[in-house]
Amino acid sequence: MIGITSYSAYIPWYRLSRAKMNEATGFLMTFPTPGERSVANQNEDSVTMATAAGLYCLEGEDRNQVGGLYFATSTPSYLVRQQASIVSTALDLREDIRVADFASGSKAGTTALMNALDAVKAGSLKKVMVTAADCRVVKPGNPQEYVYGDGAAAIMVGQENVAAELEATYSLSVDFVDRWRAVYEEFDHGWEDRWIRDEGYEKLIPRAIDGMLKQQGLTAGDIAKVIICYPMARQHANLAKRLGFTPAQVQDQLLDKVGDTCAAHPLLMLIGALEEAKPGDRILVSSFGQGLDVLLFKVTDKIGLMKDKWGMKKSLARRKELESWERFASMRGAVKFYLGAREGEYGFTSYTLAWRERKQVSRLYGHKCKKCGTPQFPPRRICVNPNCKAIDQMEDYRFSDKTGKIFSFVVDYNVYVPVPPVVHAYINFDGGGRIQLQVVDVDPFTIQIGQPMEMTYRRKQVDVPRGVSIYYWCATPVRT
Look at residue 404 in the predicted model and tell me its pLDDT: 98
pTM for the full predicted model: 0.95
Q: Residue 342: what pLDDT? A: 62
Q: Count Cβ neighbours within 10 Å for each residue of 304-325 and write b for 16 or more, e otherwise.
A: eebeebbbbebbbeeeeebeeb
Q: What does the buried/exposed string (b/e) look like for 117-134 if buried means 16 or more CB atoms within 10 Å of the residue's CB?
A: bbbbeeeebebbbbbbbb
What per-residue confidence (pLDDT) applies to 459? 94
Q: What pLDDT score was predicted for residue 375?
A: 97
In eight-state DSSP terms, residue 247 is: G
State pLDDT tens for residues 326-369: 999 999 888 777 777 666 666 677 889 889 999 999 999 999 99
- What is residue 343's predicted lDDT score, i.e. its pLDDT? 64
> Which pLDDT belongs to residue 463?
84
d(CA 85, CA 91): 10
Strand order of the β-sheet with 375-376 is 375-376, 365-369, 394-398
The per-residue pLDDT string of the chain (480 residues; one tens digit each, 9 = 90 and over) reads 999 999 999 999 999 999 999 998 888 876 667 899 999 999 999 999 999 999 999 999 999 999 999 999 999 999 999 999 999 999 999 999 999 999 988 999 999 999 999 999 999 999 999 999 999 998 888 889 999 999 999 999 999 999 999 999 999 999 999 999 998 888 888 899 999 999 999 999 999 999 999 999 999 999 999 999 999 989 999 999 999 999 999 999 999 999 999 999 999 999 999 999 999 999 999 999 999 999 999 999 999 999 999 999 999 999 999 999 999 999 988 877 777 766 666 667 788 988 999 999 999 999 999 999 999 999 999 999 999 999 999 999 999 999 999 999 999 988 888 888 999 999 999 999 999 999 999 999 999 999 999 999 999 888 888 888 999 999 999 998
Q: In 321-414, which residue ranges form alpha helices assigned H by DSSP?
A: 325-332, 351-356, 358-361
As a whole number of Å, the end-to-end CA separation of the chain is 34
- Convert the pLDDT of each residue in 399-440 to its tens digit: 999 999 999 999 998 888 888 899 999 999 999 999 999 999
Give me the pLDDT at residue 344, please: 61
Q: Is 32 exposed, middle or buried (0-12, 13-18, 19+ CB in 10 A)?
A: exposed
Q: What is the DSSP string of 263-302?
A: GGHHHHHHHHHHHH--TT-EEEEE--SSEEEEEEEEE-GG
Half-sphere exposure of 186 (CA within 13 A, CB side): 7
- The answer to whether 54 touches 66, Cβ cutoff 8 Å, is no
pLDDT digits over 127-156, tens only? 999 999 999 998 888 889 999 999 999 999
Is the sign of the CA dihedral 105, 43, 80, 88 positive or negative?
Answer: negative
